Structure 1
Amino acid sequence: MSMFKWEVVNPAPGEAVGPHQRLPWGRTVGLGAQHVVAMFGATFVFPLVMGLDANLAIMLSGVCTIGFLLICNNKIPSYLGTSASFVAAVAAIRTQGGDSADVTGAILVAGLVLAAIGVVVHFAGARLIHAILPPAVTGAVVMLIGFNLAPVVAGVYWPQDQWIALLTAAFMVAAAVLLPGFWSRIAVFLALVFGYLASVFADKVFGSINSITGSSNGELVEHDRVSWAGVKAADWVGFPSGKLADGVSVIHGPSFSVTFILLVLPGVIALIAENTGHVKAVAEMTGENLDPYMGRAIGADGLATAFASAFGGSPTTTYAENIGVMGATKVYSTAAYYVAGIVAILLGLCPKFGAIVNATPGGVLGGITVVLYGMIGLVGAKIWVENRVDFGNPVNMVGLAAGLIAGIGGVSLKFSDDFELSGIALGTILVIVFFHMVKGRTADATSGEVTKRL
């Protein structure tokens, strides 16, 4: 049967719709639009905090989603939104003087590495991932990636408008926990809308503020919270264009630096964990064995990340938000994801829409990121809990400890004047090396004896 022929079904309430089935096109289009709303908040927040263009990211996410579906033979319903796994590394690159071309060049290489790993997994089997990156290691790496971002919130976004940031963070927490069903899954998007409206209201009632902005180099300037000058000047239809905050064109070619590449490579581990978890979650929901497609999924995400970065876009990953939509609707049709990809491409071709996104106030981003970055870190703890990682075992406790502190605290290891390992890169290496150095051995806490573990 052709990949593009779906069996049309009209299920009874509560009955599932499989990946190669679809509802009538009217309802399928509605579900596709729902997937766009679910992915939207995080997909344009993370490009903004990485200093990349959100409109380009949204457009390329649609292209990459369609590519992912094709590579996976329509077996794995998924939306590829912007990945948060490289946000901390991007902040480090910019701190060291790198620009957007350096950022996308480093991420492009990481995408190719992920694609190569996908090929290896496809032929060697999914067991290879679990052997090299067991849950103890994966959880630690994801945790240090998230918590490494704390200084970015404190030093860049929160000070731009602390009260709007606080209100936005409070709304997001409440929305994610208290709202029912689908609405709680789009808490990021709702918080962005709330923060935007709160900023407009504050400008009208309290006037402009005197604070830092994203481009003021830490100096206090007087400014409105929301400026729509760029929105008024933008066209309704066209490709993303213009300049980023660092002067690099929105659509640009990558630049490559070994130092910057090493900074982003730990993010590959997080992407492996995200893709593996996504495939397992979809397999559980659909009742199908998708392990034979694990390598395809990882490789497809790697190729998508490399493709997007080649044009100045942001890295991609499979989105948990859309798993939530599937869980709520029990519709796993890949046809809905093709619709979602097309809708995202059309949104990306509207510069005025992109200008509205880029006008998001810094205080709103501060409120969103203070919650999101913490959630990224706690996903690492979630991996530990779900896989019952035993911290009574010194292999886990001691083997991971040094890497976590090195990664979160920004410890550096200098090799020469031109090369050093620090932060996430060093932390990840220490986590992997130290864990495997003692893996399979346990220590008797009372006698100090070390014995080979069976």
Structure 2
Amino acid sequence: MSQKVLDIHEKPQPTRWIILSLQHMFAMFGATILVPQLVGLSPAIALLTSGIATIVFILVTRFQVPAYLGSSFAFIIPIQIATQTGGIGSAMIGSMFVALVYAIISLIIWKTGYAWIMKILPPIVVGPVIMVIGLAIAPTAISMASTITVDGQSVYSGLHFSAAIVTLASAVFCLMFFKGIISLMPVLIGIIVGYGYSAFIGILDFSAVIEAKWFAFPEMLIPGIDYPFVVTPTLLLIMVPIAIVTISEHIGHQLVLGKVVDRNFIDNPGLNRSLLGDGLGTLISGLVGGPPKTTYGENIGVLAITRVYSVYVILGAAIFAIVFSFLGKVMAMIATIPTAVLGGISILLFGIIASSGIRMLIDHKIDFDNQRNLVIASIILVIGIGGATIKFSPTFEVGGMALAAIVGVLLNIVLPGKEDSTLMDDEDES
């Protein structure tokens, strides 16, 4: 364990606090604004709700967990599907019900302990589902990177594809050849370089930035005002099962974060509190039109490198995220990022998500000579990536990633030869 610079409850001096908080916020910035850009939500409201959700999380966990909450990539496809079937309001309603699932599971864990959820969500289920998250949307990333819309048709554009390649190359270069805090911001740096290149080749339209106000209130989507609060079984089956993935992600992050700062967050303040904080953040975000929230792996990376574990620095990052969401010209500039640039960074990001699923299987030493493991992983991958759908009626169906997650959990329960492997297996391994 390397010597910490600032422990969880240490308060840095004001000037240092500002510098450290801004540094932390920018490390979270790129991924946080990318999700809303991909699903048609406001980057400003994503930043605003990211900051608010982080503050709520820290309060719920009693200032014990230095975690930052950003936009969840697990919900990209579900939000897109929900939007296509019932408008963006449907995606927000689905997000609220995901938060309700978090609250219910948090209550059960509070009453019964967390051993049961570890058994329901073993690595052999969680790993392949995470792979599905990255791979199922891969065609979208390639389309964004290489095509433009002309007269309603998608047409290949070498000029735009070059912007995607420059963006991707910049992010890869950042990951491979930089160390320290810079290596943790490949998304942000890739977008900045890609944006500059796009301006150079003439595919940017700055008119919106010029017309934007310096100060602007983020555009919100309020249920009952901007959209009717209508709940359907299909909507719930599109969004709610993804909680299987995000809860697993949450547990994994708490375990790894605990290793970094040398604390056991599963026991103190408790998995029930951290899950509740995550759920409340997602609920607040959904109520005002922001994407679902999740604890960020980038946050853990920043803590590991800087050895600044102070929860007050995380609070500072959240406050600055809120402030930035009101900077109209900055948000207008984000809105002008070319689709090709977003596509280029998505190629790397979606691949990393898929690879993290593979890494989970490797870290937990999942044996694929075991036919049970082979069957579960294979079926999850094909159902999820293939987009399989079960239709119970013309208006009631479940498919894709949600179906893959449900089938994975059921297979793990019913197939013989079940092992006791859980996400906590490697907690004490280095």
Alignment check: 8 A CA contact 1:153 1:369 kept: yes
Change (3 A) 1:156 1:92: farther
Give 1:198's aligned residue. Answer: 197
Q: Is 1:298–2:287 an aligned residue pair?
A: no
Give 1:116's aligned residue. Answer: 104
TM-score (norm 1): 0.84
Three-state SS of the structure 1 residue aligned to 2:18 is helix
* Correspondence list, 1:20-419, <5 A: 20-94=9-83, 96-160=84-148, 161-203=160-202, 225-241=203-219, 255-292=230-267, 293-419=270-396
Residue segments in structure 2 that go unaligned for 5+ positions in a row? 149-159, 420-430
After superposition, the C-alpha distances for 1:311-339 in whole angstroms (9 at most, x for unaligned) are: 11111111111111111111111111111
Give 1:212's aligned residue. Answer: none
Distance in 2 between the 1:284 and 1:408 partners? 33
TM-score (norm 2): 0.89
Three-state SS of the structure 2 residue aligned to 1:317 is strand
- How far the C-alpha of 1:250 sits from its partner, in A, is 12
Alignment check: 8 A CA contact 1:138 1:273 kept: yes
Q: Judge which range, 128-137 or 146-155, deviates more.
A: 146-155
After superposition, the C-alpha distances for 1:170-213 in whole angstroms (9 at most, x for unaligned) are: 2212211221121110010000000100000011xxxxxxxxxx
After superposition, the C-alpha distances for 1:18-63 in whole angstroms (9 at most, x for unaligned) are: 2111222221221111110100000001111011000111011111
Three-state SS of the structure 1 residue aligned to 2:62 is coil
Give the CA RMSD over aligned residues: 2.2
Please tell me the residue identity of whatever aligns with 1:109. Answer: F
Give 1:207's aligned residue. Answer: none
Q: Judge which range, 22-31 or 134-143, deviates more.
A: 22-31
Distance in 2 between the 1:365 and 1:118 partners? 35
Change (3 A) 1:404 1:58: same
**Which one has more relative contact order, counting CA pairs under 8 Å at least 6 apart?**
2
Please tell me the residue identity of whatever aligns with 1:59. Answer: L
- How far the C-alpha of 1:158 sits from its partner, in A, is 3.4
Alignment check: 8 A CA contact 1:104 1:254 kept: no
- How far the C-alpha of 1:440 sits from its partner, in A, is 2.7
Three-state SS of the structure 1 residue aligned to 2:219 is coil
Distance in 2 between the 1:280 and 1:253 partners? 39
Distance in 1 between the 2:135 and 2:387 partners? 11
Distance in 2 between the 1:185 and 1:254 partners? 39
Distance in 2 between the 1:315 and 1:80 partners? 10
Change (3 A) 1:93 1:436: same
After superposition, the C-alpha distances for 1:384-403 in whole angstroms (9 at most, x for unaligned) are: 11111111111111123222
Aligned length, in residue pairs: 404
- How far the C-alpha of 1:260 sits from its partner, in A, is 2.2
Distance in 2 between the 1:342 and 1:121 partners? 31
